[in-house]
């Protein structure tokens, strides 16, 4: 087993502390940066190549030590997707995530920071897209909620309720 020396650990800890203290760290989670996505990387996909904005979504420690950073692309076009998050003059496409090389980020074009509530909304929409939380549904149309209500009534009253989506024996 390869052990990391205390000197190396100390150096890593110092680098992490310096990064967190540096307000101008360009690869910080929640920054919107300009990205140059090469044409040959696009291939036969729906990913737009060229220069575009992207929200840095990977964590700050990863962004400090790794050459691979995950971004969520931004667009100025409204596509009426419930997972898109509006931020000023653009939409953050929270249902998409793209791994990019750190060298593709064009720091000289500027960095924009998003506010914490917007970042939390992007996180929630991302989690919904990838099944990490229950989908948003109205209470009236949710089969799960209707079944749960019927099950509670059954326990309370000792009788069975049924609807099209909920079948019981007996």
pLDDT in tens, 111-132: 999 999 999 999 988 888 878 7
Token duo for residue 38: 């090469």
- The answer to whether residues 59 and 31 touch, using CB atoms and an 8 Å cutoff, is no
Which tens digit of pLDDT belongs to each residue from 37-89?
888 766 666 667 789 999 999 999 899 889 999 999 998 887 777 888 889 98
Query: Which residues have CB under 8 Å from 99's CB, separation 6+?
Result: 68, 69, 70
Which residue in 156, 151, 153 sits closest to 165, CA to CA? 151
* Tokens standing for residue 126: 């991302």
**What's the rounded Cα separation, in Å, for the pair 136 and 132?**
12
- Whether the model clears a pTM of 0.75, i.e. scores above it, the answer is no
Domains of the chain: 15-136 (2.30.30.110), 137-170 (no CATH)
Strands of the chain, DSSP E: 31-37, 50-56, 68-75, 84-87, 90-93, 98-101, 111-113
């Amino acid at each position: 087993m390869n052990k990391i020396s205390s000197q190396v650990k100390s150096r890593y800890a110092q680098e992490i502390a310096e990064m967190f203290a540096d307000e101008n760290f360009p690869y910080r989670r929640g920054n919107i940066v300009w990205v140059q996505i090469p044409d040959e990387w696009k291939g036969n996909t729906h990913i737009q190549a060229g220069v575009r904005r992207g929200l840095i979504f990977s964590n700050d420690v990863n962004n400090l030590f790794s050459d691979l950073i995950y971004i969520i692309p931004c667009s100025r076009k409204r596509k009426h997707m419930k997972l898109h998050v509006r931020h000023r003059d653009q939409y953050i496409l929270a249902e998409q995530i793209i791994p990019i090389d750190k060298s593709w980020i064009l720091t000289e074009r500027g960095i924009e920071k998003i506010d914490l509530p917007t970042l939390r909304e992007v996180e929630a929409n991302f989690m919904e897209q990838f099944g990490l939380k229950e989908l948003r549904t109205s209470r009236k149309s949710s089969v799960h909620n209707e079944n749960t209500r019927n099950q509670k009534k059954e326990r309370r009253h000792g009788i069975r309720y049924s609807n099209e989506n909920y079948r019981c024996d007996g």
